Amino acid sequence: MLDPKLLRTELNDVAVRLGTKNFDLDIRQFESLDAKRKSAQVAVEELQAERNKRSKVIGQAKAKGQDVEPLLAEVADLGDRLDAAKSQFDVVSEQFQSLLLSIPNIPDERVPAGKSETDNIEIRQRGTPREFNFTALDHVDLGEHGNAMDFEVAAKITGSRFVTLHGELAQLHRALTQFMLDLHVNEHGYQEVYVPYIVNAESLQGTGQLPKFGEDLFKLEGDKDYYLIPTAEVPVTNLLRDAIVSEEQLPLKFVCHTPCFRSEAGSYGRDTRGMIRQHQFEKVELVQLLRAQDSHAAHEALTHHAEVVLQKLDLPYRLVNLCGGDLGFASAMTYDLEVWLPGQAAYREISSCSNFLDFQARRMQARWRNNATGKPELLHSLNGSGVAVGRALIAVMENYQQQGGSIAVPAVLQPYMGGKTLLFSDS
């Protein structure tokens, strides 16, 4: 959520900057709603003030044993007037609030203009895509060859966009997770957390998935508004919802491994082959919450932490700065890490590192207390995948494949694989 005060005072500027995100802010609508809200609120508060004053007088009169009947007569219609004013205010206030919740975050100045991912700007590239002296397979063929990846049986068990992994490949998947967690905990100073995979609507509103993007979520049946998490960002960032932490506790750095569930509504026909785009996948997520003045540097650091994963796995990748049109709703600036997939001969997103500034914190009322002023201030929140486990698995398979369909184990993963150096060697 944007600061309502900013919207009031710099509405035109904000509208222009939101334009780079392909968002059309209706200036007239905002102004008229805000004006309505203002008069309705003032009306309610004035009536409340009067009621408080009168009631106080009645109380005092009664204490002195005076006759309060005439005083009661004076306030006879006050209640009705107040109710009327209140119901009017409630309507306007709700409209105003939902408008505020539907406005995306303002892009940072460094966000390039552009409409789609083709306009993203490449910042740097690391590693060189390997030259194969044989025909490189994609992960689907490799997985089939090793009898280790099965989309058909997953479709039987559940439906499309699910997969089962077997034997050494399932083990490699787990090894990747363990490796990433250990890296971020031991070398990057994150605290590992375990969180619910089911969250309520308030949490999703806090991070920005609701109210606008409910169709991307799996909602549970039942009398409660429960959803499967689309990312660990939701439960982890909401650890701080309605909280005020002391300055000494900052920065907060959490790493969290969870499954993620996404309906992928609107992506019919995209990435239908393989496990690039699944309804269920695993991710190791990095989340930071800290002071406003530290968030730019933290964004760079967090992105680097994700990069280290790819560097240690020796996977070729590139870093791109997302253009306005490709930027997420809550993000002010996002770096994507794209890993090289020989099977597609393309770089594909494997991590997305975003700075939300105080956008999520304002929705969540997540704050810290400034020692210098003694006052609470909104936290800045950031997160990034460190990295997506399913896609990392694909990347390792395709980049480390050997002639004949076996797969070498990256050196850093070997300790997690019982020293194994080659998978599918006997198939």
Residues that bind RNA (CB under 7 A): 4-5, 38, 41-42, 44-46, 48-49, 51-56, 58-60, 62-63, 68, 72, 75, 78-79, 244, 365, 367, 369, 375-376
Catalytic entry in 262, 362, 363, 367: 262
What is the smallest separation between the CB atom of 55 and RNA, expressed in angstroms?
Answer: 4
Catalytic entry in 93, 349, 377, 406: 349
Query: Which CB atom, from 51 or from 318, has the smaller least distance to RNA?
Result: 51
In angstroms, the CA 173 to CA 230 distance is: 19
- Yes or no: say if 269 and 256 are a contact pair by the CB < 8 Å rule: no
What is the smallest separation between the CB atom of 47 and RNA, expressed in angstroms?
Answer: 9
What is the smallest separation between the CB atom of 177 and RNA, expressed in angstroms?
Answer: 20
What is the smallest separation between the CB atom of 198 and RNA, expressed in angstroms?
Answer: 12
Question: Is 352 among the catalytic positions?
Answer: yes
What is the smallest separation between the CB atom of 64 and RNA, expressed in angstroms?
Answer: 8
E strand or H helix that includes residue 126: strand 121-126
E strand or H helix that includes residue 55: helix 27-63
Please state, as a whole number, how many other Cβ atoms lie within 10 Å of the Cβ of residue 76: 8
Query: Which CB atom, from 131 or from 221, has the smaller least distance to RNA?
Result: 221
Question: Is 131 among the catalytic positions?
Answer: no
Query: Which CB atom, from 155 or from 292, has the smaller least distance to RNA?
Result: 292
In angstroms, the CA 389 to CA 188 distance is: 18
Please state, as a whole number, how many other Cβ atoms lie within 10 Å of the Cβ of residue 276: 22
Question: Is 348 among the catalytic positions?
Answer: no
Cα–Cα separations (whole angstroms), residue 191 to 181, 251, 287, 305, 343: 10, 11, 10, 14, 35
Query: Which CB atom, from 76 or from 159, has the smaller least distance to RNA?
Result: 76
- Yes or no: say if 330 and 356 are a contact pair by the CB < 8 Å rule: yes
Question: Is 391 among the catalytic positions?
Answer: yes
Question: Is 17 among the catalytic positions?
Answer: no
> Which has the closest alpha carbon to 181: 389, 337, 340, 336?
389
Query: Which CB atom, from 67 or from 152, has the smaller least distance to RNA?
Result: 67
Catalytic entry in 51, 277, 291, 318: 277
Q: Which residues are catalytic?
A: 262, 277, 349, 352, 391
